[in-house]
Every structure is written in structure tokens, then in C-alpha cells.
Amino acid sequence: MSEGKAVLVTGAAGGIGRATCERLAANGWQVLAADYDAGKLAWAEGKANISAIAVDVSSEADNARMAAEAQARFGGLDAAALNAGIGGGGSIDDLPFAEFQRILGVNLVGPVLGVRAALPLLRKRGNGAIAITSSTMGVAGDSENWAYSMTKHALIGLVRSLAREIGWEGIRINALCPGPTKTAIAGMEGMDGVVEDNLPPHYHVLKRQVPLQRWADPDEMASVIEFLISPAASYVNGHALVADGGAVTGSGLMAPKASAAPTYPADLKEQA
């Protein structure tokens, strides 16, 4: 338990962010849950240990407002989970420039501004920790996902560099690199309880790339974020922790070993 410790979580209306808020609040953290989507933050209303704030993480003014709220509520911060992110596929020829800038704004500028806003509050408490959500696409590239992938690679550069810059202050910074996780960003919102054969084809395609042969539940990412900001990870700094069921372990030339009877729909069996 982490009674009385204060944490900021961004992207808190989404799958991984919400699971992180719920897990941390249940374990005694005081949580400031931040997201762009004020309506989707309604889940936090009346929840013990959780307060919500609507912010655009790509805005410097909103990050200042978020920090002021954490200061007013908690008098500082013990941890920040900078987790907000958006997807964005498109070829190098076709991705609209405005969309490219939006991806940079949320996925890259957002965490930089978040660190800048959180640091003075972490310094007040001492021994703070930051966890930034990158991706398996932060350690490997993917066709028509270059914009998303480059932002997620850059976050690992940010984490490694800042670990060397602020470590002396007792503040740790690490990245989580999730694999396919059942959330809206992955097209899986509202898919809980849907029978396997009715899930979208990409669910089955990606599942086959994961040695564990399944997608992650959001709480399996929340537990890694909790670890990274907890004293259990007190000597972990500047690390990119890949939690992907083993997906990026391979050369990419051969599929991982699967059961003899893969559970994906008939149309995908033809492509296999």
C-alpha cells in the first residue's frame, strides 16, 4: 500500500490510464486523473482517492493548470504516469501534415510538457518517479505507423536522457512499452465479452504475433506502471520495460510457436 502518496495519471479516461488510476487508488494513492475527454472522465466521479481534471496534454497552459491542481490538492507529487497518447496510421506519402503535427503534439510534446510541469512538484516530495507510456512501436518500426512509432521511440530517448539528468535528485524516470492491449486506441473498446470469432480481424492477426497468444488486459499494463513508480523499482532508472507477451523478441522472419488449433476465424485461416 502507498497510503497518502500523490500521483498524476494522464490519459485517465482511456483503457490503460483508467486501469492505472483504479489500481493506484485501490492501493492507497491519491490520484489526479487527467484527460482531454471531460465526458469520459465521468467514471471517476465519487471514486475514493480519485479526482479528475480535463486538460489537453499538448498545451503548456493546461499542463500548468494540471500542476497547480496537484499542488493545491496534494502539496506536491510523488509520481507521474504520463500515459496519454493517440494512434495515427498513414503512409509517408499520405498522412496529412496536420495529423502528423497532432500526433507529435499529444505523443511527444505532451510528455515533455508533463515532465516539466511535474518535476517541481516531485522535487518537493523527494524520491519521485515518472513512468511514460511508450510502445513496442518505440523499440521497433511498423509499416504505415511511422509517425506514431517515431514519437514512441523518441520517448525512450527522453527517458534515457532525463534519467542521467535528474537521477542525482533522487527522481527516477522509466518507460513502459505495451504490446497489444484491449483498449480504444487498439480498436478494442467495448469488445469485452465478445466471442473470439466476432472480434475484428486485426485482433486475431496481432494475437498470432504474441508468443503468449493473447492480448493484454489494461490492468496488466497498470500493474507495470505501478511497479515502475513504486519503491519495488527503486534502482530501476532510464529503463524501457517491454510488456508485450514476448511479441518483439523475434527476428520477424518466423511466427512464434502456436497451439495446433489456432482460434481465429475461417477467413484468417485462409491467409495464414
User: Rule CB under 6 A: is residue 226 a binding residue for ligand NAD?
Assistant: no
Exactly one of 84, 103, 108, 242 binds ligand NAD (CB under 6 A); that residue is: 84
Residue 16 DSSP label = H
User: Rule CB under 6 A: is residue 222 a binding residue for ligand NAD?
Assistant: no
Exactly one of 57, 122, 147, 242 binds ligand NAD (CB under 6 A); that residue is: 57
Exactly one of 14, 114, 128, 245 binds ligand NAD (CB under 6 A); that residue is: 14
Is-contact 53 66, C-beta < 8 A?
A: yes
The residue annotated as part of the active site, out of 148, 203, 235, 264, is 148
Is-contact 70 123, C-beta < 8 A?
A: no
User: Rule CB under 6 A: is residue 63 a binding residue for ligand NAD?
Assistant: no
Residues 6+ apart with CB under 8 A from 52: 12, 32, 33, 34, 35, 41, 44, 45
x/- mask, ligand NAD, residues 86-125, rule CB under 6 A, reads x-------------------x-------------------
DSSP 103-170: HHIIIIIHHHHHHHHHHHHHHHHSS-EEEEE--GGGTS--TT-HHHHHHHHHHHHHHHHHHHHHGGGT
How far apart, in whole angstroms, are the C-alpha atoms of residue 116 and residue 58?
A: 12
x/- mask, ligand NAD, residues 237-256, rule CB under 6 A, reads --------------------
> Is 148 tagged catalytic?
yes
Which residues contact ligand NAD by CB under 6 A?
10-11, 13-17, 35-37, 40, 55-58, 83-86, 106, 133, 135, 178, 180-181, 183-186
Which residues are tagged catalytic? 148
